[in-house]
Amino acid sequence: SADLKLLEEATISVCKSLVEKNPRTGNLGALIKVFLSRTKELKISAECQNHLFIWQAHNALFIICCLLKVFISQMSEEELQLHFTYEEK
């Protein structure tokens, strides 16, 4: 779709920067861990109609999906695995 193409064009430099720096920073893995740890709260937020938390979770998942699309399209399986095996030094 046209909107998806515009999004990809607007974010490609940010995504490329993350691809470069992520093996050293572990930012993608950290984002995924935070998202997964907070998913338990989503049901409660929906019941309490906490729209802010639901909106934040939606945005985090959207960012993860966009980044994974770039990662998967630009690297081999071995390279991709390096982005999820970050160990803090």
Task: Tell me what pLDDT residue 39 has.
Answer: 83
Q: How many residues does the chain have?
A: 89
pTM value is 0.76
pLDDT confidence tier of residue 87, bands split at 50, 70 and 90: low
Residue 42 and residue 21: Cα distance in Å, rounded?
Answer: 30
Mean pLDDT computed over 50-75: 86
Mean pLDDT computed over 65-79: 86
Instruction: Give the orientation angle of helix 40-47 with respect to helix 27-38, to 10 degrees.
Output: 50
The 10s digit of each residue's pLDDT in 11-55 is 888 888 888 888 888 888 888 888 888 887 888 888 888 788 888
